[in-house]
Amino acid sequence: MQGLAAFVRLVDRFNDLVGRTIAWLIFGSVLICASTAIMRYALNIGFVWMQELYIVLFGLNFTLAAGWAYYKNQHVRVDLLHIRMNERRRAWVELIGFFVLLLPWLAVIIYAAVPFVGLSWRILESSSQASGMPGVFLYKTAIPIFCFVLGVQGLAAVSRSVLVLANRQDLLPPRGDAA
């Protein structure tokens, strides 16, 4: 049981670090978006790569911060039902949700992404737009990373649920707190 609790803490800390770091991409995306608009409308200058870059930064934030959102309990759930449940019932819902919904969904994404990302790496894909961004293959690599960060956080939630069901909540940090 100590090992499960240590795993939960490790994954929580990892996704907290990833999320806090990735969150800065929103700031970069906003700056680049504003710069693009100012350059286009005030100076009549435009760069396709800049337009693509702020979209890529926002997309990276969305995909790579998924584990952080799960850790912070900010993902989609039916709160109307969830708040009425006791801790043990929530643990059962978490376990069932992971194995019936999240795990199969991540498996489908990985199954579809591996050839997609692999081909992109083989051809060192760049933007299809003239003067667009190079290195699109790097951006597409965020798909399997998304599956990893969300998957390990799901395993941490499963571990947390097992500890709750074993009446060992005393071993766990508060949810959403990596301390």
CA distance 150 to 17: 14
Q: pTM for this one? A: 0.82
Confidence band of 175 (pLDDT split at 50, 70, 90): low
Domain membership of residue 54 (yes or no) is yes
CA distance 24 to 17: 12
**Selection from 70, 60, 61 nearest residue 16 by Cα:** 70
The contacts of residue 91 (CB under 8 Å, 6+ apart) are 160, 161, 162, 164, 165
Domain membership of residue 40 (yes or no) is yes
Number of domains in the chain: 1
Q: What is the pLDDT of residues 15-68, one digit of tens each?
A: 999 999 998 888 888 999 999 999 999 999 988 898 898 889 888 998 999 999
At 78 the pLDDT is 59
**To which residue do tokens 């978490």 refer?**
94
Confidence band of 178 (pLDDT split at 50, 70, 90): very low
Q: Tell me the residue range of the domain where 26 lies.
A: 2-171
